[in-house]
Amino acid sequence: MKLVVVESKAKAVKIQGFLGGAYQVEPCMGHVRDLPSVSGSSMGIDVENGFKPTYTVSKSDIVTKLRGLSKKADMLYLATDPDREGEAIAWHLCEAIKPDVPVTRIVFGEITKTAIEEALASPRTIDYNLVQAQEARRLTDRLIGYILSPLFFKRGAVSGAKSVGRVQSPALLLMVEREYERRYFRSGGYWELPVTFKSGATTLEAELIKVGDKRIASSKDFDSDTGNLKKDASVVLIGEEQAKRLVKTLSESLCTVRQIASREEQRKPAEPFRTVTLQQAAASQLGWTTDRTMKVAQRLYENGHITYTRTDSVSLSDEALGAARKIAAQFGAEYVPDKPVIYQTSDALAQEAHEAVRPTDLFRRPADIKPYLDEEQFKLYELIWKRTLASQMESAIFDQVAADLASADKKTVLRANGSVLKFDGFLKLYQEGQDDKPEDDSSDRRLPEMIEGEESNLKSVETEQHFTQPPPRYGEASLVKKMEELGIGRPSTYASIIKVLQDRNYVTLERRQFIPEDRGRLVTTFLTCFFERYIEYGFTASLEEQLDDISDGRLDWKKVLRDFWQAFSKSTEETASLKFSEVLDALDEDLGPHFFPAGEDGDAGAARLCPVCKEGRLSLKLG
């Protein structure tokens, strides 16, 4: 008997069906060993002796069962996930079971009979570079979380706060900084003149863009700190009275089509899904949280419907490329490019050990397997199937048209923008979500036929007052996009990080937007006051680069830990003697009276009285 160990029950059942009675497939249910829970001053890490960790078995019943089965087997296959975490689980299994039979490591990117057979035909040894990279991450996270958290929680600064972390704290900082951007934003007001012309049997919508030789001010011309026009803005700011005069002028004047500019524009299909883009698309198109997306995707993977869900790769196998092109050809030969479209990720930190997230068999259309999926699985499978297929289809082609109309005295210029879809290409199959569309998307506005010199009859002209808007709060899609852009953590961890921040009551999700709670803002402020280095976006991004270097064998993992610990331990020693009053003073100074604003318009209100000192200081006891 050959024993195969995988991570989940669902995966074990699926693979057992492929392999038959000569193999026994068993789940380990994830990690079977971990660092111990903190007891006294021990963290399970001996920093004085090369950062030697002490691991304890966390699933003794599973280890006992697997150890017993290994004694009856003539071969042990460790078939955990094909990434750093999976490699570490395989190593921990080997250390915990201590098998007497030969041990080999197999990996696969999809749970299909072919993939499993190929993995068994090409076994390898455990990759200790990957194991050490995961271990370096685990030990660093333990040192940061279990030293920083008690340091300021015991000061009494933020009652009820649960934890800080290498990735969760910079992610929280993003949301807090955005909240302050909104709070201190100063709105500027301006007027616009939407104009409707009648052109034959159709209407033409235009906007005022120029008076005299100057452009009309728009939202981008205002300073967010003052609400006034930027000093270098060479524009005309239209006030209410001038807007009314312009309405009168335009109402009494015929406008002439002065210039028509047209250009053909191609819109290329999006690349196949990787972890982070799958999370973004599910958030924008399905309204799902990252946690929900990854759980549903994992079920699809374990049941053999899609490839492995944790990937930075956008590449497709030759088999998948061929299948996509055959299916796309059913829409017509014009929908298939002359040769396969090959995508490459632009992420410098990308881990491309396997393919993009795609269906294991593109010929299994969503409708074909709908009876075997629940509603959530069907929606996500359909999204993945369409995105994969669309990535191998031709670009959509638009005619972008801009028509300028001038008043009789030529002092006032209006512009009408529009486009005509000439060829739908990939849009025949895959409609982009709001986050996928380019800014200034006017693809749904069609202009009537016009010729230069033609006079257009005014149908209506109105005045509209607008105010510049603060930057929006982060939603699921925009947050994971920003985290990836800054190199904060890895996409595979985003779902758990966001969930922790919500579980800790550091942020709440309202109307699909994250709002930092008082507790979350205080935690962030404490860290920026006393441990700024370890909440900076660059710190966690730099560590991710070093972990990748360890994975590739370019960097010694213990050197990374030594360099980190030398600076980190010094920082913690400097704050070890901090008193509650000193922490309170620092937070008061940093937060100021704007922590509790009086109104939604950003005006500052009086600070709450501190329940400890009963003076005009911030309320820090939030528990």
Instruction: Report, as residue numbers or ranges, the catalytic residues.
Output: 308
What letter represents residue 353's amino acid? A
The DSSP line for 248-286 is HHHHTS-EEEEEEEEEEEEEPPPPPB-HHHHHHHIIIII
Distance CA 574, CA 486 (A): 29
Rg of the chain, C-alpha, whole Å:
30
Contact 533, 166 (CB under 8 A): no
For residue 436, what are the CA distances in angstroms to 284, 372, 388, 441, 470?
A: 9, 30, 15, 11, 22
Helix axis angle, 168-183 relative to 518-530, nearest 10°? 110
Distance CA 521, CA 513 (A): 16
For residue 306, what are the CA distances in angstroms to 19, 390, 425?
A: 19, 16, 25
Please state whether beta strands 23-27 and 2-6 pair in parallel, antiparallel, or not at all (unpaired): parallel
Q: Supply 502's token pair.
A: 């919500």
The DSSP line for 371-435 is GGS-HHHHHHHHHHHHHHHHTTSPPEEEEEEEEEEE-TTS-EEEEEEEEEEEE-GGGGT-PPPTT
For residue 330, what are the CA distances in angstroms to 27, 334, 615?
A: 42, 10, 74
Contact 276, 478 (CB under 8 A): no
CA atoms lying within 13 Å on the CB side of residue 45: 20
Contact 440, 475 (CB under 8 A): no
Nearest Cα neighbor of 278 from 313, 328, 322, 323 is: 313
User: For residue 5, what are the contacts with CB-CB under 8 A and spacing of at least 6?
Assistant: 25, 26, 27, 28, 66, 76, 77, 78, 79, 80, 93
Q: Supply 482's token pair.
A: 């920003």
Our CA angle for 413, 419, 420, nearest 5°, is: 140
